[in-house]
Amino acid sequence: MQQVFRSSYRAPSNIAFIKYWGKHGNQLPLNPSISMTLKSCYTEMSMQLSESSNMNVDSMLFEGENKPEFIPKIQSFLEKNKDKFPASFNISLESKNSFPHSAGIASSASSMAALASCLGDKFDFDLNQTSEIARLASGSACRSLFPNYAIWGKSSYLGSNDEYAIGFSEFHENFSQMQDAVLIISAEEKSISSRAGHELMNNHPYLKGRIDQANRHFDQIINAMMTGDFDSFGKILENEALSLHALMMSCENSFTLLGANSLKAIEKVRAFRKETKLPLYFTIDAGPNIHLIYPKHEEAAVKKFIESELKNLCQDELVIYDEIGQGRYKL
Ligand code: DP6
C-alpha cells in the first residue's frame, strides 16, 4: 500500500503596509514590503500526499465542492519548482476560508501559506524554506506565516531578503494591538488579477521612481513603528496605498480599481481624523475595499464612526473586523 502523509494547517491573510507591486525572475519582488498578519481572515487547508514519480494535484475541494479550476495554478507552481522538494508527489487538497467567499478578499496569501505549511510539514522544512515555498506559490503568502508583522524583500533592514520573509518584532508597544476593519465596498471579482497587475510594472514610466519611493517608505515606516509614531506611520501608510492605485491608473493599459464609495470612505476617514485627532488610517490593496488600521484603545470610537458613517458605503453593509494575529498553526 502507498504511504499517505496527511497534514492540516490554518494560515491567516495579511495586509501590506508597504506594498509588493511588480516582480522579476521567479517570483522575486521589485521592492521590499512589510505587512501585518491578520487573525480572523484565514484559510484552513488539509493535504493528503503520496510520493510518486510525477508531480500531480489529484483533486481540490473548496468549501466542500470540487473545484478543478483551482488546480492548474497549483499544478504549475509545483512543476516549476520541483527542484525545491526532495521527492515528487501527488496531492489532494481540501480548503475553506473563514471569510465569505464573495467578500472580495484575496485568499491567495492565506491559502498558499497554508499549502506551503502542509508541504513544509511533510519535508521538515524550516520557517525560511516554508516561506520561500509560499512565495513561489504567491508572493504575499510568504509573509503570512509570521506573528504580528513580516518583512519581505531586500532592504536596509538586517536579514531581509528577496527569497523569503522574516518576522518583524522590534515594534513599539503602540503597535502591539492594531486592528484592521475591512470596508467591503464591492464584493465583485476583481477586473484584473494581481498577477496581471504586477506585470504592468515592467514597462511602467514611473518604475524607477516607484522603487525609490517604496524603499524610502519602507525605511520611514519601520522607523515609525519602532518609535511608536502613529502620525508618521499613517502618512506613509496612506501615501503608499494611493501610490499603488496611481501606478495602476498611470500604466500603459491603465485600469481603476477604486470605486466611488472607496473615495467617499477615504474622505470621511480624513475628515474624522481632522476632527477627532484619533489615529485612524486607511490602506488599500489591489481592489476597491478599504482597510482601516487603528490601535485597540480607540476601538469604541472608531467602531461607532464606522457603523454610523461608513457601513452604508459598503456592499450589503459588510464590514469585517479583524486584528493583528499570530501566524499559521497546525490543526
Ligand atoms: C497589492 O501576492 O497576490 O496585495 O505573487 O502574483 O500571487 P502574486 O501576487 P499577490 O500580490 C499582492 C499585491 C498586493 C500588495 C501586497 O500584498 O504586498
Distance 213 CA to ligand 1 centre (A): 18
Task: Please name the residue whose Cα sits nearest to atom 5 of ligand 1.
Answer: 139
C-alpha to C-alpha distance for 13 and 112, rounded to whole angstroms: 10
Does the pLDDT of residue 305 top 90, yes or no?
yes
Give the pLDDT confidence score for residue 275 in this predicted structure.
Answer: 98
Give the pLDDT confidence score for residue 104 in this predicted structure.
Answer: 65
Distance 196 CA to ligand 1 centre (A): 10
pLDDT digits (tens, 9 = 90+) for 28-63: 999 999 999 999 999 999 999 999 999 999 999 999
Does the pLDDT of residue 101 top 90, yes or no?
no
Does the pLDDT of residue 266 top 80, yes or no?
yes
Task: Please name the residue whose Cα sits nearest to atom 7 of ligand 1.
Answer: 138
pLDDT digits (tens, 9 = 90+) for 190-209: 667 777 889 999 999 999 99
Give the pLDDT confidence score for residue 122 in this predicted structure.
Answer: 98
For the entire predicted model, the pTM comes to: 0.97
Ligand 1: which of 30, 194, 195 to mutate, most ligand atoms within 8 Å of CB? 194
Distance 269 CA to ligand 1 centre (A): 25
C-alpha to C-alpha distance for 314 and 320, rounded to whole angstroms: 11
C-alpha to C-alpha distance for 129 and 116, rounded to whole angstroms: 9
Q: What is the mean pLDDT of the chain?
A: 95
**Which atom number of ligand 1 is nearest to the Cα of residue 135?**
5
Report residue 232 as a C-alpha cell: 508618521
CB atoms within 10 A of CB 304: 10
Does the pLDDT of residue 148 top 90, yes or no?
yes
Ligand 1-lining residues (CB < 6 angstroms):
16, 19-21, 27, 33, 106, 108, 138-140, 194-195, 198, 285-286
- Spatial contact of 160 and 32, defined as CB atoms under 8 Å apart: yes
> Going by C-beta distance under 8 Å and a sequence separation of 6 or more, which residues neighbour residue 38?
12, 13, 14, 15, 180, 322, 323, 324, 325
